[in-house]
Chain A
Amino acid sequence: MNGLTNPLGTSVGKKLMMAVTGLAFCCFLTIHLAGNLTLYGGKDFFNSYVEHLHSLGSLVTLAELGLLFFALIHVLTGMLLFYQNYNARPARYSVNKRAGGRTLGSATMPYTGVILLLFVIFHLMNFHFVDKTNTTTFQLMSNAFASPVYIFIYTFAVIIAAIHVSHGLWSAFQTLGANHPKYTPFLRGLSIVFSVVIGIGLGFIPVYVSLLR
């Protein structure tokens, strides 16, 4: 095992783990968005999507366990990186100016990450760890988004996720060694487009559901 834990324990190794798990979450976000877009087909269309998804049974459980495992790696490694990076420069500069590299996304990765973690827990408690015997998922959503506080929390969290991936997506490619004048500008653009699509696509859903009522 030493042969594997050694490279993965280095700075570059930890970044590789962040990149692989982060990209997996980006795939998850894409699938999650695609699934949730069925809402715009109406209540029955959405409920039938949910039923189809759950009829996959153990496949869904497997995916969930995979995401949980990846989440543990991503969150724990992310926190370790944050701690080490702080220790690498405990004395700050009195004048701070960006030279043009840093972006809103890149500067806030650990903070947007922690907010996302709290949100994911909150989100799972709302829609995953609840008794669904006498109700539909649509009904659960409709009830939740009757409250402006819920709409605010969800929209806010989705914007935070969009900021996180606006840096995360291209950064993961760079970490994996994929950098080329031919496609790196495209990947940087794609990160922005992806974050806007996720932001608007998922962010509008709570508002839409509340309007449906």
Chain B
Amino acid sequence: MTKNINVTLKVWRQKGPHVKGGFETYPATDISTDMSFLEMIDCVNEQLTLDGKEPIAFDHDCREGICGMCGAVINGRCHGQEKGTTLCQLHMRHFSNGDTIVIEPWRATAFPMVKDLVVDRSAFDQIILAGGYISVNTGGAPDANSIPIAQEIAELAMDAAACIGCGACVAACPNASAMLFTSAKISQLALLPQGKPEATSRALAMVNKMDELCFGNCSNERECEAECPKEISISNIARLNREFVKAGLVSVVK
């Protein structure tokens, strides 16, 4: 049932990377519970603009939970308290009239501040560049099913490939570790025949890049898995660990 609610926002405002930020309080009045969280911020931004103030900067693109651009920490929870949901798919019906909502950006050394709720997640792109791909020469399209893949394996690879690279796992991890993201990207390739030839160099390169970018070390806290909007499982992290042992300690690659 649609109704309208009034909430109070405490939003992290920061003009740029190297200036001091802080919380500002704004009322969000007459918000339809059918709105998404981002639409609610749009409303507040409209009012801020009318008042001659700087609107709240935040990242977004598809607004349908598939691109991985949105994300913020809502009352201490990444993408809000709903399970398996991106911020753009979080609806205002999950809030009550009179609520105070604290909104903070992802916080990690590897995700430097850009502005307000926007952080620079290009560190993820660098991890992918280090080895999150397969090198194939283009040629004639191969016949479908020319390489048989067991259904269970295909499912696992698809589950890992569901990662949208939003960064909530890093934001949720007490150590700001990127292991869930990296393990999903390593798994989606390592599970499939096409990914196997480069599995060794990939595991070493991606883990080394992850460390170099100043992400923390995984200590199996499992907060990432609980907060991931795509519910990526930490069994992928165990797979990364196995791939790494194979690559680093028993493979022929130096």
Residue positions of A touching B, CB distance < 8 A: 3-4, 6-8, 10-16, 81, 84-85, 87-102, 106-107, 109, 167, 170-171, 174-181, 184
A10: contacting residue among B73, B176, B211, B216, CB under 8 A:
B211
Given A10-B207, A88-B176, also A95-B102 (CB < 8 A): yes
Contact A174 B238 (CB under 8 A): yes
Bound: A167/B244 CA distance, A: 23
Given A100-B226, A177-B245, also A11-B254 (CB < 8 A): no
Minimum CB–CB distance for B220 against chain A, Å? 4
Q: B221 — which chain A residues lie within 8 A by C-beta? A: 101-102, 106-107
Minimum CB–CB distance for B13 against chain A, Å? 13
Q: A6 — which chain B residues lie within 8 A by C-beta? A: 248
Contact A84 B216 (CB under 8 A): yes
Interface size class of B (residues with CB under 8 A): 35 or more
Minimum CB–CB distance for B209 against chain A, Å? 10
| Nearest A residue to B228, CB-CB | A99
Is there a chain A Cβ closer than 8 Å to B241's Cβ? yes
Bound: A174/B240 CA distance, A: 10
Residue positions of B touching A, CB distance < 8 A: 23, 73, 75-78, 102, 104, 107-110, 172, 174-177, 179, 204, 207-208, 210-211, 214-227, 234-235, 237-242, 244-245, 247-249, 254
Q: B248 — which chain A residues lie within 8 A by C-beta? A: 6-8, 10, 12-13
Bound: A10/B211 CA distance, A: 7
Contact A102 B234 (CB under 8 A): no
Contact B210 A179 (CB under 8 A): no
Q: A90 — which chain B residues lie within 8 A by C-beta? A: 109
Bound: A129/B239 CA distance, A: 44
Minimum CB–CB distance for A180 against chain B, Å? 7
Contact A93 B177 (CB under 8 A): no
Bound: A95/B235 CA distance, A: 28
Minimum CB–CB distance for A25 against chain B, Å? 16
A177: contacting residue among B107, B175, B223, B241, CB under 8 A:
B241
Q: B210 — which chain A residues lie within 8 A by C-beta? A: 11
| Nearest A residue to B233, CB-CB | A179
Bound: A180/B227 CA distance, A: 21
Minimum CB–CB distance for A150 against chain B, Å? 33
| Nearest B residue to A88, CB-CB | B216
Q: A95 — which chain B residues lie within 8 A by C-beta? A: 73, 75-76, 102, 104
Contact B225 A88 (CB under 8 A): no
| Nearest A residue to B75, CB-CB | A95
B207: contacting residue among A12, A81, A180, CB under 8 A:
A12
Q: B76 — which chain A residues lie within 8 A by C-beta? A: 93, 95-97
Contact B211 A11 (CB under 8 A): yes
Bound: A3/B235 CA distance, A: 27
